[in-house]
């Protein structure tokens, strides 16, 4: 196995992956800098796991190149097997060997070292994740969170140039997932490790990633920081992925889209065309009716702890308006409320096809 003591760079160049008649990855290019955490984000079947497997060497790409730290490991006439790429792998099911002790599981990737040296490195890795006291136990004796930490210790023990993780936290309950995720990312940052993480959860991606790569249908839809993808999504698909939206269809005329919620600037690519105005639930605020942009009637209220989710009927809108408010601000059904819109935070997209789903 190719060993390294420093974070590696990753360069994916025009990678395509075809399985029979299925195009799983379609001309994907991506550069990951040393020490960077990059999330491949998207719905099931978008190609993110296949791309990760190509980088790992578990799949040979149909075309394109994979370059790890300046070394071509996959390309025309080139294919370096996984064990020689200097990568660490963490899978959704952790892939621990049930017949090996915890220590033996961590030592598994250190087979080329002497027994004493491998043991010392494995014990140090277990100590870093707080599990050295379980070294002689077996995986079934540990909780899900503890097994995840063992998998992390095993992946990091050989000091890989890059850590590849496929939905590593999805098998944990929410409270455990948040804690283990924070511990894992803290360790990666401490080691200045490069990481490529597959997830379907946009909140998780925003919490851990320096760079998010949003995928759809085997292609990259948008790449950017969490702030860029949230605040400046390039399409309705991207906008929908990161938050709940009130979507109001309208017609652009003379650079504006007129809606029951007011007038919004139309995008440059929609001169006198169909548009959808997207207003986040957090961009709507309950105010006295006389100070409002629009007036609505409360038809549903759901308590969320630190906020209420309010559904209101507004004249001129086909679908009810959904907004968040402080608990108790709108307390009764059929109550008339005023709603003010933060227009500068709205997103407006040109539409093509016959429905919003085509965007």
**Are 36 and 129 found together in one domain?**
yes
pLDDT band for position 75 (cuts 50, 70, 90) = very high
Number of domains present in the structure of the chain: 2
Position 236 in a domain: no
Mean local confidence (pLDDT), 184-205: 90
Residue 2 covered by a domain: no
Q: Indicate whether 177 belongs to any domain.
A: yes
| CATH assignment of the domain containing 350 | 2.40.50.140
Listed residue (141, 52, 54) closest to 105, CA to CA: 141
Tell me, yes or no, whether 290 lies in a domain: yes
User: Is the pLDDT reported for residue 349 higher than 90?
Assistant: yes
Q: Of 211-215, 304-308, 325-329, which has the strongest mean pLDDT?
A: 211-215
91 has a pLDDT exceeding 50? yes
| 269 and 223 in a common domain | no
The answer to whether residue 3 scores a pLDDT higher than 50 is: no
The pairing of beta strand 63-68 with beta strand 10-19: antiparallel
Q: Are residues 264 and 136 in the same domain?
A: no
CA 177 – CA 261 distance, rounded (Å): 39
pLDDT, average across residues 47-56: 97
260 and 204 fall within a common domain:
no
Q: Is position 237 within any domain? A: no
Lowest model confidence (mean pLDDT) among 190-204, 275-289, 342-356: 342-356
**25 and 152: one domain?**
yes
The pLDDT, as a whole number, for residue 183 is 83
3-state secondary structure (DSSP) of residue 319:
coil
Tokens representing residue 103 in the block: 């220590």
| Domain shared by 301 and 192, yes or no | no
Above 50 in pLDDT, residue 206? yes
Please indicate, yes or no, whether residues 214 and 151 belong to a single structural domain of this protein: yes
Predicted structure pTM score: 0.88
Of 163, 196, 231, the residue at which a domain comes to its end is 231
- CATH code of 105's domain: 3.40.50.300
Query: Which residue range(s) make up the domain with 99?
Result: 10-231
* 328 occurs within a structural domain: yes
Give me the pLDDT at residue 331, please.
Answer: 65
Q: Which two tokens stand for residue 102?
A: 């915890």
Together in a domain, 107 and 136: yes
Same domain, 55 and 200: yes
The residue among 176 and 106 whose pLDDT is bigger is 106
- Residues 161, 8 contacting (CB under 8 angstroms): yes
Q: How confident is the model at residue 231 (pLDDT cuts 50, 70, 90)?
A: very high
* 119 has pLDDT over 70: yes
**In a shared domain, residues 186 and 308:** no
Tell me: do 257 and 223 sit in the same domain.
no
Q: Are residues 53 and 190 in the same domain?
A: yes
DSSP 32: E
């Amino acid at each position: 196995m190719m060993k390294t003591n420093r974070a590696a760079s990753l360069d994916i160049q025009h990678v395509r992956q075809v399985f029979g008649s299925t195009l799983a990855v379609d001309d994907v290019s991506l550069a990951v800098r040393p020490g960077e955490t990059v999330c491949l984000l998207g719905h099931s079947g978008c190609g993110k796991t296949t791309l990760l497997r190509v980088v790992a060497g578990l799949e040979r790409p149909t075309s394109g190149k994979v370059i790890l730290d300046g070394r071509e490991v996959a390309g025309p006439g080139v294919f370096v097997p996984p064990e020689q790429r200097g990568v660490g792998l963490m899978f959704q099911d952790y892939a621990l060997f049930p017949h090996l002790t915890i220590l033996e599981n961590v030592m598994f990737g250190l087979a080329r070292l002497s027994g004493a040296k491998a043991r010392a490195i494995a014990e140090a890795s277990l100590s870093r994740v707080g599990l050295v006291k379980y070294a002689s136990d077996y995986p079934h004796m540990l909780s899900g969170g503890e097994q995840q930490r063992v998998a992390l210790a095993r992946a990091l023990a050989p000091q890989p140039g890059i850590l590849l993780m496929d939905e590593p936290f999805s098998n944990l309950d929410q409270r455990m997932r948040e804690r283990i995720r924070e511990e894992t990312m803290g360790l990666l940052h401490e080691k200045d490790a490069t990481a490529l993480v597959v997830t379907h959860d946009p909140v998780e991606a925003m919490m851990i990633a320096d760079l998010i790569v949003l995928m759809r249908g085997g292609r990259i839809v948008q790449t950017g920081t969490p702030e860029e993808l949230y605040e400046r999504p390039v399409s309705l698909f991207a906008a929908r992925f990161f938050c709940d939206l009130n979507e109001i269809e309208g017609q652009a005329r003379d650079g504006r889209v007129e809606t029951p919620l007011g007038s919004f600037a139309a995008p440059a690519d929609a001169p006198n065309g169909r548009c959808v105005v997207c207003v986040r639930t957090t961009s709507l605020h309950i105010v006295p009716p006389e100070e409002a942009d629009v007036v609505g009637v409360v038809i549903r209220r759901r308590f969320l702890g630190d906020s209420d989710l309010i559904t209101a009927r507004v004249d001129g809108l086909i679908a009810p308006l959904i907004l968040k408010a402080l608990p108790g601000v709108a307390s009764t059904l059929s109550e008339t409320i005023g709603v003010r819109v933060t227009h500068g935070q709205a997103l407006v997209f040109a539409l093509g096809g016959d429905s919003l789903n085509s965007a």
